[in-house]
Amino acid sequence: MIDDTVHTEPRDDFTRSDPKWQSLGLLIAIVAFVGVLTAPTPTGLSPAAHRLAATTLLMAVLWVSQAVPIAATSLIPLAAYPLLGIQAAGDVSRSYMNANIFLFFGGFIIALGIERWDLHRRIALHVVSTIGSSPRLIVLGFMLATAFLSMWISNTATTMLMLPIAIALLGTLGETGTPPDGDAAALDRQERALSRLGVALMLGIAYSASSGGLATLVGTPTNIAFMGQWRELFPEAPEPSMAEWFVVYVPLTAFMLTAAFFVLTWKLPRRIGSAQIGRSFFGERLRALGRPSAGEWAMLAIFLTTAALWIFRKPIEIQIGGGDGTFTLIKGWSPAYERFLVEKLGTDPSVAQGAIHDSTVAMLMAVLMFVIRMPRTDRRSDPRTDQQSGRRWEPLIDWQTVERGMPWGMLLLFGGGFAMASAFGSSGLSAWLGETLARSLQGASLPVLVVCICLMMTFLTEFTSNVATVSTLLPILAGAAVTLGIDPRLLMIPATVTASCAFMLPIATPPNAIVFASGRVSMGQMVRHGLLLNFVGVALVTAITFALLVPVMGISLGELPGWATMPQTP
Residue 203: per-residue pLDDT: 94
CB 190 within 8 A of CB 175: no
- When mean pLDDT is compared across 139-148, 160-169, 289-298, 398-407, the lowest value belongs to 160-169
One-letter amino acid identity for 334?
Answer: S
Mean pLDDT of the chain: 80
From the list 388, 390, 393, 364, the residue with the least C-alpha distance to 378 is 390
Residue 85: pLDDT band (50, 70, 90) is very high
Residue 383: per-residue pLDDT: 43
In whole angstroms, give the CA distance from residue 520 to residue 570.
57
Residue 178: per-residue pLDDT: 52
CB 36 within 8 A of CB 84: no
Q: Apex CA 138: angle with CA 135 and CA 142, to 5°? A: 145
Backbone angles phi, psi at 231, to 5 degrees: -65, -40
| Rounded mean pLDDT, 411-423 | 81
Highest mean pLDDT among 29-43, 122-136, 171-185 belongs to 29-43
What is the pTM (predicted TM-score) of this model? 0.68
Tell me the percentage of the chain whose pLDDT exceeds 70: 82
| Rounded mean pLDDT, 114-137 | 76
Q: How far is CA 555 from CA 407, 449, 451, 489, in A?
A: 35, 16, 18, 8
If 0-12 CB within 10 Å is exposed, 13-18 middle and 19+ buried, where does residue 176 land?
middle
pLDDT at 471 over 60: yes
From the list 107, 206, 207, the residue with the least C-alpha distance to 407 is 107
| Rounded mean pLDDT, 126-135 | 70
In whole angstroms, give the CA distance from residue 47 to residue 31.
19
| Rounded mean pLDDT, 173-194 | 62
CB 235 within 8 A of CB 515: no
Query: In terms of pLDDT, which residue wins out, 98 or 54?
Result: 54
CB 317 within 8 A of CB 327: yes
160's enclosing H/E stretch is helix 155-176
| Rounded mean pLDDT, 403-415 | 82
* Residues facing 316 on adjacent strands: 330
Q: For the chain, how many helices (H) and strands (E)?
A: 27, 4
54's enclosing H/E stretch is helix 47-65
* Residues facing 391 on adjacent strands: 377
pLDDT at 236 over 90: no
In whole angstroms, give the CA distance from residue 256 to residue 537.
7
Q: pLDDT by residue (tens digit) across 369-387?
A: 999 999 876 544 444 444 4
CB 417 within 8 A of CB 467: yes
DSSP string, 296-332: HHHHHHHHHHHHHHHHTSS-EEEESTTSS-EEEEE--
From the list 423, 417, 419, 433, the residue with the least C-alpha distance to 481 is 433
Residue spans of alpha helices (H) in 374-522: 399-405, 408-427, 429-441, 446-460, 466-484, 489-498, 510-517
Query: In terms of pLDDT, which residue wins out, 6 or 79?
Result: 79
Residue 451: per-residue pLDDT: 92
Residue 181: pLDDT band (50, 70, 90) is low
Q: What is the length of the chain?
A: 570
Handedness of CA 249, 255, 257, 260 (dihedral sign): negative
What is the SS3 assignment for 291? coil
| Rounded mean pLDDT, 212-230 | 85
CB 289 within 8 A of CB 122: yes
CB 273 within 8 A of CB 189: yes
In whole angstroms, give the CA distance from residue 208 to residue 227.
23
What is the SS3 assignment for 159? helix
Q: pLDDT by residue (tens digit) across 505-560?
A: 776 777 887 788 777 888 788 888 999 999 999 999 999 999 999 998 888 887 78
Q: pLDDT by residue (tens digit) across 48-61?
A: 989 999 998 898 88
Residue 276: per-residue pLDDT: 53
Residue 568: pLDDT band (50, 70, 90) is very low
Q: Apex CA 232: angle with CA 230 and CA 237, to 5°? A: 55
Residue 566: pLDDT band (50, 70, 90) is low
From the list 160, 151, 122, the residue with the least C-alpha distance to 257 is 151
Q: pLDDT by residue (tens digit) across 329-373?
A: 677 888 889 889 998 888 888 888 878 887 888 899 999 999 999
CB 541 within 8 A of CB 485: no
For the CA atoms of 38, 41, 47, 53, the dihedral, rounded to the nearest 10 degrees, stands at: -70
Q: Which residues contact 428 (CB under 8 A, 6 or more apart)?
A: 45, 46, 48, 49, 566, 568, 569
- When mean pLDDT is compared across 7-11, 64-68, 324-328, the lowest value belongs to 7-11
Handedness of CA 11, 15, 21, 27 (dihedral sign): negative
Residue 388: pLDDT band (50, 70, 90) is very low
Residue 464: pLDDT band (50, 70, 90) is low
- When mean pLDDT is compared across 127-136, 194-203, 221-230, 484-493, the lowest value belongs to 127-136
